Structure formats: structure tokens, C-alpha cells
Structure 1
């Protein structure tokens, strides 16, 4: 039997405290929708529930929220209570501990997700910056090494590797015999390799 909570969070009810020996009878009345009985149940169990929860959650504000959730569970699930399976207090303590553990796990999972997202964002940004820096450094090194080539070598390498021309097209563009272009290209690439520290 699911009942709406008879009063909002924070209200402790006006009923007198019920003794533990009376809680089974009180719970039976709660199961039948007795709001006054629930006020008594709340007064009797809420302090104990809060004590259990706060030892697990270790945050007063969240513990108060979890305590309210537990009391709502007791109100809505009152019909499920079985006296032969334990006392009302023990049943409430079990629910309280389970709710507290769930809250901690939920909070930890949320924190883990945020940390993972932050780590991914940081790594992505780092990779992008590293790639840009590396590309820029390499391009500057290439330009510096290119300045060490002869004019013909520099022109031939530029046409072949930056514009995608074949050796024959390079020879035609520079009006230079093909064998000469091949020789200058080979020598130019060797000088570039040595200048940039590339190993083969």
C-alpha cells in the first residue's frame, strides 16, 4: 500500500513518542493509513535513522535528505513489514543503511563521471596543443633546413613534395635535364634528413 507522506520534510509530528515495544502496533496502523500513527513512528525512529545515515554519508545536509527518504519508505512500505522477521527498528535500520550506501555510491559515481570528463577534456586540449606545437616546430625546422639547400635543390624539393609533381614534371618546370633533377633531389633530401636528425 503506497500512501502519500502525511506531512512535509522537517515536521516531526505532534504525537508523543512511541516505545519500541509499541512500534509493531504503530506500524500496523501506519499500514492502514493512520497519519497520527506515522507521526509517532517518525518521532520514535527518525533520530535513530539519521544517526545511521550520517555515519555512512558523513554530510549533515545529505543525511537529512536521506532520512526523509527512509521515513517516506517506511510510510509507503508499511504493509510489507513482517513482525516475525524482526523488529520495526531493525527493519528501519536496514532501509536506512541501504539508502545511505546508495547515496554515497551515487555521489561517488557522479564525481567519477565529472573527473573523467574533466580528464578527457584536459587530455584533448593537451593533445591539440602538443600537435600544434610539434607541427609548428617541425615546419620551422624544415624551413630552416631548406635554406641550407642550393637553389635548384630547394626548388626541386618544393615542387615534388609540396606541390606533388613527378620528377619529370619538376624537370620540365625547371627546364633542367631529368638526370640532373634526380641527382639534386637525392642530394637535397639527404641534406634535409641530416639537418632534421631523421634516422632511417
Structure 2
């Protein structure tokens, strides 16, 4: 094998999947920086970003045999990094609950109950549209429309145009 082939992230993970720890060490050296950059950009806390980086690379080690084709390997790794960092943000926000001022702010602009609750769950608690839908027992399209309309109303009110 040539050096270029050996250095390919896909080939390194192929070897790592067969138990080659030195191949994973080489992969780690290649991927750790980009994974940390993704995590740090989302988390804004160096310690949390480093912890997510370690967790992601451990997950990659465990899944080494299931990585996508050559060109997609680093995209796969960075997608996992992004997902884990976002999950951490959602977890931390959810653990703290919605900001108290969020619950008071939205009704000032005469939002419907669906609009207010959807926005609070999505933007202050970090829920996905699917999670908001489940929490409110409302179909996803209705939740999405409610959030869109509510955000338009908030925007109009904040820009001095009153409720839209």
C-alpha cells in the first residue's frame, strides 16, 4: 500500500475495525482536530467540547466497521460530532428548563397558545419539531406553521409593527 492509501480515513477505519490500534491512532490524529472544532463551535465551552470529542472518537472506534465509503468517511465523522454536540446543548437546556422570561415575553405579543408553547419548547428547551409535536399532541405541519406564524408575529412586534 502506498502512503496516500494508508492515510485515507476510510482505509484507516477499515484496519481499525480489524483491531489495528495503530491505524485508529493515526485516524485519531487526523480526525480529532476537526471533531473538536465542530464541538467547540456549537458548545462554546472548551471542557464540554473536549468531552464530546472523546465520546465521538470512542463511538467511531466502536463503529469503525460501519463507516461509509471512502469519500464520505470524514463527513460521517463530522456529522456524528455535530449531532453529539447538539444533543449535549439540548440536554443541558432541557435540564435547566425554559428561561422564565421566555414564558412571560411571548404572551405580550398575543401569540396563540400553540405558537407560544411551540416556540418556548423549540427555542428555550431545545426540542425538535417532532418532540414539540409529541409534547403538544399536535401534527408536525401544524406545529411548524404555528412556530413560523408566531415568529413572524414576534418579529413584527419587535420591529414596531404590532402583531402581524
Q: What TM-score, normalized to structure 2?
A: 0.54
**1:63 aligned partner:** 49
**1:82 aligned partner:** 68
Please identify runs of 4+ aligned residues in structure 1 that moved more than 3 A. Answer: 18-21
Offset of 1:87 from its aligned partner?
2.2
Summarize the alignment of residues 40-189 of structure 1 with structure 2, pairs less than 5 Å apart: 40-83=26-69, 86-112=71-97
Offset of 1:21 from its aligned partner?
5.9
Work out the CA distance in 2 between the residues paired with 1:21 and 1:35.
Answer: 14
Offset of 1:68 from its aligned partner?
0.2
Give the secondary-structure state (helix, strand or coil) at the position aligned to 2:97.
Answer: helix
> Structure 1's 19 and 66: CA in aligned 2 closer, same or farther, altered over 3 A?
farther
RMSD: 2.4
Q: Which stretches in structure 2 are left out of the alignment for 5+ residues?
A: 101-164
Higher Cα Rg, which structure: 1
Q: What TM-score, normalized to structure 1?
A: 0.45
Offset of 1:88 from its aligned partner?
1.6
Work out the CA distance in 2 between the residues paired with 1:88 and 1:21.
Answer: 12
Match of 2:18 among 32, 52, 59: 32
**2:143 aligned partner:** none
> Structure 1's 96 and 20: CA in aligned 2 closer, same or farther, altered over 3 A?
farther
Q: Which stretches in structure 1 are left out of the alignment for 5+ residues?
A: 1-17, 117-200
Offset of 1:59 from its aligned partner?
0.5
Correspondence 1:23 to 2:14: no
